[in-house]
């Protein structure tokens, strides 16, 4: 098994674990397992530019992520399939250069794209869309347009049960009280 296939399998298992039942993100693998492509739907607020120049908030965004032959050495190809007005999105492209590193998991990329859609994070210094960057700088008081925490911690390993040795606690309290009395 190649390193790339191991990484694809690892990403696939992590994505299943992280997004199964997620309230704001659905992830659909496309193709054989381990998939090289995913369709991700975000149910978060983002901004769309209307033809008349006004902006509107949209709450559903679809993204396609392709894990090409050079992944994970090079960043995945990320495309937005729904309209969006954002400095780091243009003509279907998504610039993830600021958030990409070979050590980033696919789950991390998905969460980061969701945060970008909500304008919780954006880069106006090297934008794909200069017009959207100019608009964002002038209107940064409007952000974020969504403030959902997309990270869902895994509590499955945590236990609801814990033990306290009450006698040991009581003994320590009594010892500390004795020391306070002596001082």
Report the b/e string of 61-97 with b at 16+ CB within 10 A. bebbbebeeebbeebbebebeeebbbbbbbeeebbbe
Question: Is residue 161 predicted with pLDDT exceeding 60?
Answer: no
pTM, two decimal places: 0.82
Could you tell me which of 56, 121, 28, 47 has the C-alpha nearest to residue 86?
Answer: 47
Pick the more confident residue, 165 or 5: 5
Mean pLDDT along residues 159-167:
50
Rounded-to-integer distance, Cα 18 and Cα 16, Å:
6
pLDDT at 159: 43
* Cβ contact 121:115 at 8 Å: yes
Domains of the chain: 3-152 (3.10.110.10)
pLDDT tens per residue across span 74-122: 999 999 999 999 999 999 999 998 888 888 899 999 999 999 999 999 9
| Phi and psi at residue 147, to the nearest 5° | -130, 40
Task: Kindly indicate the confidence band of residue 182, based on its pLDDT and cuts at 50, 70 and 90.
Answer: low
Say whether 50 sits in a helix, a strand or coil: coil
pLDDT at 177: 63
- The verdict on whether omega for the bond into residue 72 sits within 30 degrees of 0, i.e. cis, is yes
pLDDT at 13: 96
CA torsion, ordered 100, 102, 104, 110, to nearest 10 deg:
60
pLDDT at 157: 44
Mean pLDDT along residues 156-182:
54
Question: Is residue 158 predicted with pLDDT exceeding 50?
Answer: no
Q: Report the percent of the chain where pLDDT is more than 70.
A: 83
Mean pLDDT of the chain: 87
pLDDT tens per residue across span 34-69: 999 999 999 999 999 999 989 999 999 999 999 999
């Amino acid at each position: 098994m190649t390193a790339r296939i191991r990484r694809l399998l690892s990403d696939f298992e992590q994505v299943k674990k992280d997004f199964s039942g997620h309230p704001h993100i659905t992830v659909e693998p496309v193709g054989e397992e381990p998939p090289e492509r995913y369709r991700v739907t975000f149910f978060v607020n983002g901004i769309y530019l209307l033809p008349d120049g006004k902006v509107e908030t949209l709450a559903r965004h679809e993204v396609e992520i392709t894990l090409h032959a050079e992944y994970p050495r090079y960043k995945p190809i990320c495309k937005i399939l729904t309209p969006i007005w954002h400095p780091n999105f243009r003509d279907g492209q998504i610039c993830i250069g600021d958030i990409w590193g070979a050590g980033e998991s696919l789950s991390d990329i998905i969460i980061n794209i969701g945060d970008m859609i909500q304008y919780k994070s954006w880069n106006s210094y090297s934008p794909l869309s200069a017009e959207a960057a100019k608009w964002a700088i002038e209107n940064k008081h409007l952000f974020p347009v969504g403030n959902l925490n997309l990270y869902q911690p895994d509590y499955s390993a945590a236990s609801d049960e814990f033990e306290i040795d009450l006698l040991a606690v009581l003994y320590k309290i009594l010892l500390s009280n004795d020391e306070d009395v002596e001082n």
